[in-house]
Amino acid sequence: MEHAGDRASTYPPCELPLIYRVVGESTVWVWSDESGAMEVEPAPGQLMGAYSSGIADYAWGDLPMPYLTNPRVRFWFTERGWRAYGLQVAARARASGRAYRVIRRKNPPRSMVIYRDEWQVALLPDRD
């Protein structure tokens, strides 16, 4: 008798539906009375989402931006969103010269999903 887990394991990894997230190091803007606003790079540290870290400004195009109030929500690209937006976000992150990573994972269970459209999915983080 074939088990669902056996059947799923025969598929190549690239055929499983994945979601993608680009994270990178942020910079900080400080104000100096002598020279005005200055962007400074903090010591290497925790990575944050590409939008929040500013590593891919203007790569978002017309991507819908739903208003979600939970600060723990994290956005991931769907397969279609990765091709339409994510690859450009990753290219701009690379061009920024800052440290960044592309994270892939399987589609999450519905209980973690806060928002979904054809381009993106918003999730609550895994509990540690």
The single-letter code of the amino acid at 67 is Y
Residue 3 above 80 pLDDT? no
The single-letter code of the amino acid at 106 is K
The tokens for 13 are 């990894």
Residue 10 above 50 pLDDT? no
Closest CA to 53 of 72, 81, 29: 29
Q: What three-state secondary structure class fits 85?
A: helix
More reliable by pLDDT, 38 or 70: 70
Residue 19 above 90 pLDDT? yes
Tens of pLDDT, residues 66-96: 899 998 899 999 999 999 999 998 888 888 8
pTM above 0.75, yes or no: no
The whole-chain average pLDDT of the chain stands at 77
